[in-house]
Amino acid sequence: MMPFFVTEPQERLNIEIEQLRSQMVILGSTHGFLHPDVQQCSQELDLLLLQYYALRPKQ
């Protein structure tokens, strides 16, 4: 297995992902996980995760 190095853009995305994930959990706990705000947050999180994995080196 090749070593995996985190780049600055990945680190920034990782921070955004963790912040959005925390926000989604709080919203879900407050409004329920089917609330439109939670669903919107989940979709934004999906986009950030796709961007993060696109930056990872291909194995």
Residue 23 domain-assigned? Answer: yes
Residue 2 lies in a domain: no
Cβ-contact 36, 24 below 8 angstroms: no
**Residue 27 belongs to some domain of the structure:** yes
Number of domains making up the chain: 1
What pLDDT score was predicted for residue 2?
A: 46
The predicted model scores a pTM of 0.81
- With respect to residue 1, please indicate whether it lies within any of the assigned structural domains: no
Q: What is the pLDDT of residues 37-47, one digit of tens each?
A: 999 999 999 99
Predicted pLDDT at 4: 59
Give every CB contact of residue 6 below 8 A, 6+ residues apart in sequence.
Answer: 14
Domain range for 34 is 8-55
Is residue 3 in a domain?
Answer: no
pLDDT tens, the chain, 59 aa long: 445 566 788 899 999 999 999 999 999 999 999 999 999 999 999 999 999 999 887 76
The pLDDT of residue 8 is: 87
